[in-house]
Amino acid sequence: MTSADFRVESSHPISGRLFPVSGSQQYFFSDRALAVAMAAKSITKPSGQEIRVVHVPTGEVVFRKAASSRPEFSDEL
């Protein structure tokens, strides 16, 4: 596997305390578990949009954090 086998992506900017720079629409990882953990702990701006983890070589979506319409999650960060 290469150094960027997994991509965390969204159609909206992704925000999270653990990302070195917030606001990008995609981040790359070499480890699947790390990519999934980062996606699970992240939100989008505006909040509530879908976040996916994609296996880059195959294009397979390996994790999907569904869009949330629950207002209590709107101010996580």
Compute the average pLDDT of residues 4-13.
94
For residues 2 and 10, what is the distance between their CA atoms, to the nearest angstrom?
22
pTM: 0.80
Alpha carbon distances (Å) from 28 to 8, 9, 38, 70? 6, 9, 11, 28
- Residue in the block written with tokens 């879908």: 50
Q: Answer whether residue 3 shows pLDDT above 70.
A: yes
For residues 47 and 29, what is the distance between their CA atoms, to the nearest angstrom?
23
Start-to-end Cα distance in the chain? 33
Query: 77: pLDDT confidence band, cut at 50, 70 and 90?
Result: very low
- Give residue-wise pLDDT tens across range 19-47: 877 789 999 999 999 999 999 999 998 88
